[in-house]
């Protein structure tokens, strides 16, 4: 009988280790910390799905609720750190721009008559999760405002399941136009020649799309000076790029999860996921996807050789007719900025890209950077060989990664020198 507790303990230990452990590339630093982070995220997803199956709530809403307590703890830690440092003078206001909720960060007053930088930040989260009012988003925006003497506006755009495309895009565009208006720039003493739009992941998608629209809108007297795209998601035609295949099992953004985020954003049936994973939605049978459009996402041409490796393109001759028809917005450049024509890209502002080697979205960013360069836009790429999706947000204990700290510092330094 004495062996029973030891046996049970051993069994539980093995089971937990089996659940937590996943093989990771050697170049990823702090692998066990990433495994623990991923295990927590997967557990939250599983419990949320179970609650939804039992009829208690939508699984996305359950995930939000589960993260509120942790976000609150992180917010408390972030504020306690800032109170002892130089971020005390940053003024934070929760208001609306053109009816869209935003949080405005104003740097400490000083230098009467001197104009300040401006930056609009759009958070990630698969168009379904996240808030710039919480956790590392809030901390980074406070740091940026203080260190770079910048007025930062973070956008609280509406999310799935409450809304679908194009609502999040339209929210961000409305807020951007309001931000760039002469009245607002004068109110916050912002230099109209030094304004950036930035975003990570799904927020990078929205930032790129908004930058395209603003840059081609002749009614706008003030436009963005730079665009900052942090591992952005930019296209939904090819889910078999080298980075999607190489990193399909790397946390925290698994390949099927990214496709699911796309389907949710488009308001499509998630049962189509296998069709999209197989590229059936973009087969040659779909005449509306012209050769010109395909060339804009052709990674065999747009990627450097070191990222193409030995992967082969997956082009389906005849896929599912229904898949493309049931995914509205598939070819809309407001959803997939990588599909925009060179005449649009040429008008967009100079760009900064942060990409990670161990990220399914790596190639989206690299392809867009190449297309911008080909269109005459000045581009800077900070590529982190040890980076993974989401690392930019993991800079405070207990989710503190060295690569995250380096990524944030690189972002701040680039803006210091280029905005």
Angle at 241 between CA 167 and CA 232, to 5 degrees: 35
359 given a catalytic annotation: yes
3-state secondary structure 310-360: CCCCCCCCCCCHHHHHCCCCCCCCCCCHHHCCHHHHCCCCEEEEEEEEECC
Q: According to DSSP H, which parts of 27-164 are helical?
A: 31-53, 59-83, 135-147
Q: DSSP label at 392?
A: G
First to last CA, the chain: 70
Q: Exactly one of 359, 363, 364, 386 is catalytic; name it.
A: 359
- Tokens in use for 354? 């942060």
List the alpha helices (DSSP H) in 54-195: 59-83, 135-147, 167-179, 182-187
CA dist., res. 171 & res. 179, Å (int):
12
Active site residue 286: no
With residue 29 as reference, give the H or E element that holds it. Answer: none
Task: Verify whether residue 201 is a known catalytic residue.
Answer: yes
- How far are the Cα atoms of 129, 256, 283, 383, 409 from residue 275, in angstroms, in the given order? 25, 11, 10, 31, 40
Which of the following is catalytic: 154, 201, 215, 393? Answer: 201
Of 123, 307, 358, 389, which one is the catalytic site residue? 389
What amino acid positions are annotated as catalytic residues? 201, 359, 389
């Amino acid at each position: 009988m004495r062996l029973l507790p030891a046996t049970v303990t051993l069994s539980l230990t093995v089971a937990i280790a089996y659940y937590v452990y996943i093989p990771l590339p050697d170049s990823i630093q702090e692998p066990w910390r990433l495994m623990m982070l991923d295990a927590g995220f997967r557990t939250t997803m599983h419990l949320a799905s179970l609650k939804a199956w039992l009829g208690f709530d939508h699984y996305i809403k359950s995930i939000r609720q589960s993260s509120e307590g942790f976000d609150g703890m992180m917010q408390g830690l972030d504020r306690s750190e800032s109170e002892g440092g130089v971020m005390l003078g940053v003024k934070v206001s929760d208001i609306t721009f053109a009816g869209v909720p935003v949080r405005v960060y104003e740097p400490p007053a000083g230098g009467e008559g001197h104009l300040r930088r401006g930056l609009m930040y759009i958070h990630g989260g698969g168009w379904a999760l996240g808030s710039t009012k919480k956790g590392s988003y809030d901390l980074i925006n406070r740091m940026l405002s203080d260190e770079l003497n910048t007025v930062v506006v973070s956008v609280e755009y509406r999310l799935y399941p409450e809304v679908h495309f194009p609502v999040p895009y339209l929210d961000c565009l409305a807020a951007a136009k309001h931000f760039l208006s002469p009245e607002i720039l004068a109110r916050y003493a912002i230099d109209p020649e030094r304004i950036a739009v930035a975003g990570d992941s799904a927020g990078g998608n929205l930032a790129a799309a908004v930058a395209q629209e603003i840059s081609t809108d002749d009614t706008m007297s003030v436009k963005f000076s730079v665009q900052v795209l942090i591992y952005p998601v930019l296209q939904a035609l090819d889910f078999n790029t080298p980075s999607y295949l190489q990193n399909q099992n790397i946390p925290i953004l698994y390949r099927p999860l990214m496709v699911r985020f796309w389907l949710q954003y488009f308001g499509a049936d998630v049962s189509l996921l296998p069709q999209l994973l197989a590229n059936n939605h973009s087969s040659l049978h779909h005449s509306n996807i012209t050769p010109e459009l395909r060339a804009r996402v052709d990674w065999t041409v747009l990627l450097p050789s070191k990222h193409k490796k030995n992967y082969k393109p997956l082009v389906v001759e005849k896929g599912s007719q229904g898949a493309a028809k049931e995914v509205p917005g598939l070819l809309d450049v407001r959803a997939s900025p990588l599909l925009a024509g060179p005449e649009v890209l040429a008008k967009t502002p100079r760009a900064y890209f942060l990409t990670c080697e161990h990220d399914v979205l790596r190639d989206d960013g690299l392809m867009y950077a190449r297309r911008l360069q080909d269109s005459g836009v000045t581009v800077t790429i900070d590529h982190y060989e040890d980076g993974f999706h989401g690392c930019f947000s993991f800079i405070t204990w207990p989710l503190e990664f060295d690569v995250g700290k380096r990524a944030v510092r690189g972002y701040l330094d680039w803006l210091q020198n280029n905005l």
